[in-house]
């Protein structure tokens, strides 16, 4: 875990942010690491770093490197016997001198890194393939600045304002998809990309890695794919767990988490399971999770979260996330992180459903819609979309998506959020919602794929990225490392070649993982319907969050000044809960980061 802040002067005369601003920026992200700070204050560059000493190599006359997280394959890239005693930052610097920017696409692990060429006055900001660590940048007076979190940039930004297009994107998709943030002056480095900052007034963002789809006809049966999957997951878990003194596995009661629990227990005598639930509401997944835990004979801790926590932690959650949480379940993770404070590694099943096969109902919904739309000539897409059902907002942004982006993106997004037409008209008037972000699409999206893989591709660069960003923000202050075996290089290599016929078996998703799970559990457990963690959304909006909702409807909040009370009052708790929750999150964000005057 590390905290990174930096500044690059691009003017002819020396110019640096004031010491007060620099101190405020460093203090804003101090929760990311308890290590002593290290600083470099050179002629054109200043760098602040908190983290492992070996993850920082500063040289004002050459190349400086700082790393947040861990790069797994530096030794293999260097070759036998080279720089074995040097730290990761020094090793990375050596590799960059040999390979240049081509190096970034070869790196694996969970990391964000900054590489500064002081002589060239050029900075490279890099995030790993799935975006497990955050990195942001902004154009400021005198040059560029960058930081691990948005709050680390705010002291450098003069008169920050709400990004109206970012606001529209949040309201459409429930989360920010590409490089945009809710602060107009701040941008994010997207997953699998590198941003280059220099004398140019524009930042250059390029993809350094995209998912390597390589499925071909095969004579191998499903058993061979099960063997490959087990080997890939086992190798990764053995290597990662051997580096840990204690391990916890997030256990939901589903196939993915229970499989990881069984495989993790192979490699650690200090392995336990943890399951969050809502204290005052029934959770059908808890009995199933207990069943799996008892079968494995592992300690199992249930973290019961009371409704009072939702109200008390709400401001802190927005402060950490720096945008509206995509899932209500984000409230469950902080108590889990606190419960794991004494454990250095947590195992998380992210990516299984995306890479090993989404469910039949999702695929059918997507492919049926895709077939209907893909045969329509491009110029007729908007008129056709006009006659599609659902709310005015969905119709409007679906028409835009069908005209501006590949149809497969529209198919994934058009149903994420439903709002009433009164709010739609306000959004049209003030937010400029037609300028929806396309950065992720331009960097990663390929149209040379069949519909199933296109659907998976979208999930990789939206939902997975969103989930990994959430875990970084929640768990980093506790210095617990979250590992994701299904996103490991070995697992990616398997799923990149996995034929579509082994992603679904009838109406059942993930047959490879289910067959592998049968080696540990009774078959009927594996094929039991997934129930999920039910979220009492309406109860929370009418209970612990009610004062925030009432304030918004009265016209006393920042979003009230954007949309007007006439648009907000008709929103109903049961029907518009997603919209209401997103709006009160935006209220909190504006007040904490921007101030009401920024609207």
What is the secondary structure of 105-141 as a DSSP string? GG--EEEEEEEEETTTTEEEEEE-TT--S--EEEEET
**Residue 411: is its pLDDT beyond 60?**
no
Quickly state the pLDDT bin for 398 (edges 50, 70, 90): very low
Residues 485-499 pLDDT 10s: 999 999 999 999 998
In this predicted structure, the answer to whether residue 184 has a pLDDT above a threshold of 90 is: yes
Identify the DSSP state of 593. I
* Average pLDDT value for residue range 308-334: 92
Residue 484 in this model has a pLDDT that exceeds 60: yes
Confidence of residue 397 (pLDDT cuts 50, 70, 90): very low
User: Which residues pair with residue 276 across a beta bridge?
Assistant: 303
Predicted confidence at residue 442, as pLDDT, reads 53
Residue bearing the bigger pLDDT, 122 or 508:
122
- Of the pLDDT bands very low, low, confident and very high (cuts 50, 70, 90), residue 110 is very high
Q: In this predicted model, which residue has the larger pLDDT, 419 or 274?
A: 274
Q: What is the pLDDT of residues 495-538, one digit of tens each?
A: 999 988 888 887 788 999 999 999 999 999 998 887 777 788 88
**What is residue 566's predicted lDDT score, i.e. its pLDDT?**
77
Are 3-161+179-207 and 222-356+459-526 in the same CATH fold?
Answer: no
Confidence of residue 274 (pLDDT cuts 50, 70, 90): very high
Does residue 385 register a pLDDT over 80? no
Confidence of residue 362 (pLDDT cuts 50, 70, 90): low
222-356+459-526 CATH, one of 3.40.109.10, 3.40.30.20, 3.40.50.1370, 3.40.50.620: 3.40.50.620
pLDDT, averaged across the chain: 83
What's the mean pLDDT in 96-117?
95
Residue 434 has pLDDT above 90, yes or no: no
Does the 3-161+179-207 domain belong in CATH 3.40.430.10?
no
**Distance (Å) of CA 468 to CA 32, 407, 473:** 16, 26, 9
pLDDT the model gives residue 108 = 96
Asked if the model's pLDDT at residue 327 lies above 70, the reply is: yes
List, in sequence order, the alpha helices (H) in 142-208.
Answer: 164-173
CA–CA gap between residue 26 and residue 44 (Å, rounded): 19
Using the predicted structure, report yes or no on whether residue 443 has a pLDDT greater than 80. no
The 3-state DSSP class for residue 532 equals: coil
* Position 403 pLDDT exceeds 70: no
State how beta strands 122-127 and 109-117 pair: antiparallel
**Structural domain boundaries of the chain?**
3-161+179-207, 222-356+459-526, 360-449, 537-598
In terms of pLDDT, which residue wins out, 310 or 369? 310
pLDDT at 451 over 70: no
CA atoms within 13 A on the CB side of 540: 26
Residue 223's alpha-carbon distances to 193, 484, 527, in angstroms, are 35, 23, 18
Strand, helix or coil at 247? Answer: strand
- Rounded to whole angstroms, the Cα distance separating 556 from 390 reads 31
- Is residue 587 very low, low, confident or very high in pLDDT (cuts 50, 70, 90)? very high
What are the tens digits of pLDDT across the range 190-207? 999 999 999 888 998 899
Q: What is the pLDDT of residue 400?
A: 43
Q: Which residue has the higher pLDDT, 270 or 105?
A: 105
At 403, list the tokens.
Answer: 């005209």
Residues 4-53: pLDDT tens digits? Answer: 999 999 988 777 788 999 999 999 999 999 899 999 998 889 999 999 99
Please report the pLDDT score of residue 494 as a whole number: 95
Rounded to an integer, what distance in angstroms lies between the CA atom of residue 240 and that of residue 69? 13
Instruction: Classify the phi-psi angles of 390: left when phi > 0, otherwise alpha if psi is within -120 to 50, otherwise beta.
Output: left
Closest by CA to 399, choosing from 430, 433, 365, is: 433
Percent of the chain scoring above 70 in pLDDT = 82
Q: Check whether 170 has a pLDDT greater than 60.
A: yes
pLDDT of residue 281: 85
Share of residues in the chain with pLDDT > 90 (%) = 54
pLDDT reported for residue 426: 54
Residues 6 or more apart whose CB falls under 8 angstroms from that of 331 comprise: 305, 309, 310, 313, 317, 325
Residue with tokens 């939902």: 463
């Amino acid at each position: 875990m590390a905290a990174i802040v930096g500044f690059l002067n691009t003017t002819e005369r020396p110019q640096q942010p004031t010491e007060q601003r620099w101190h405020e920026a460093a203090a804003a992200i101090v929760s990311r690491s308890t290590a002593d700070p290290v600083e470099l204050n050179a002629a054109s560059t200043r760098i602040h770093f908190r983290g492992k000493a070996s993850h920082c190599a500063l040289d004002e006359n050459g190349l400086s490197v700082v790393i947040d997280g861990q790069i797994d394959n530096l030794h293999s890239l260097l070759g036998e016997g080279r720089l074995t005693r040097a730290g990761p930052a020094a090793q990375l610097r050596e590799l960059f001198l040999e390979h240049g920017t081509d190096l970034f696409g070869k790196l694996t692990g969970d990391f964000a890194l900054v590489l500064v060429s002081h002589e060239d006055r050029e900075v490279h900001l890099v995030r790993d393939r799935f975006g497990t660590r955050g990195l942001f940048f902004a154009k400021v007076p005198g040059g560029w600045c960058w930081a691990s979190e948005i709050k680390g940039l705010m002291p450098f930004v003069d008169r920050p304002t709400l990004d109206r297009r970012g606001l529209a994107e949040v309201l459409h998709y429930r989360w920010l998809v590409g490089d945009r943030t809710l602060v107009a002056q701040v941008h994010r480095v997207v997953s699998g990309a590198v941003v280059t900052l220099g004398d140019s007034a524009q930042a250059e963002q390029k993809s350094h890695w995209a998912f390597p789809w390589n499925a071909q006809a095969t004579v191998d049966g499903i058993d061979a794919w099960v063997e490959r999957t087990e080997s890939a997951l086992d190798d990764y878990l053995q290597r990662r767990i051997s580096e840990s003194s204690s391990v916890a596995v997030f256990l939901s009661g589903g196939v993915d988490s229970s499989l990881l629990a069984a495989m993790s227990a192979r490699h650690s005598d200090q392995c336990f399971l943890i399951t969050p639930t809502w204290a005052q509401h029934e959770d059908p997944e808890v009995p199933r999770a207990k069943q799996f835990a008892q079968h494995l004979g592992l300690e199992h801790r249930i973290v019961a979260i009371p409704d009072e926590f939702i109200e008390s932690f709400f401001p802190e959650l927005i402060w950490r996330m720096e945008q509206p949480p995509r899932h209500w379940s984000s409230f469950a993770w902080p108590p889990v992180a606190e419960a794991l404070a004494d454990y250095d590694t947590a195992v998380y099943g992210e990516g299984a459903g995306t890479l090993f096969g989404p469910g039949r109902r999702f695929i059918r919904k997507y492919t049926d819609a895709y077939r209907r739309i893909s045969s329509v000539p491009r110029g007729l897409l908007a008129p056709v979309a006009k006659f599609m059902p659902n709310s005015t907002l969905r119709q409007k942004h679906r028409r835009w998506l069908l005209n501006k982006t590949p149809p497969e993106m529209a198919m994934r997004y058009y149903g994420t959020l439903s709002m009433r037409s009164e709010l739609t008209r306000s959004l049209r008037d003030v937010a400029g919602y037609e300028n929806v972000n396309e950065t992720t699409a331009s960097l990663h999206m390929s149209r040379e794929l069949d519909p199933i893989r296109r659907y998976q591709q979208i999930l990789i660069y939206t939902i997975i990225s969103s989930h990994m960003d959430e875990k970084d923000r929640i768990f980093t202050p506790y210095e617990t490392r979250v590992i994701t075996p299904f996103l490991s290089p070995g697992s990616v290599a398997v799923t990149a070649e996995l034929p579509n016929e082994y992603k679904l078996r009838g109406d059942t998703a993930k047959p490879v993982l289910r067959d592998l799970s049968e080696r540990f559990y009774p078959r009927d457990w594996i094929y039991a319907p997934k129930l999920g963690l039910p979220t009492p959304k309406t109860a929370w909006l009418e209970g612990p969050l009610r004062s925030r909702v009432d304030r918004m409807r009265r016209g006393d909040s920042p979003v009230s000044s954007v949309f007007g009370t006439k648009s907000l009052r008709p929103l109903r708790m049961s029907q518009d809960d997603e919209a209401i929750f997103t709006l009160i999150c935006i209220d909190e964000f504006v007040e904490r980061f921007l101030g009401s005057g920024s609207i």
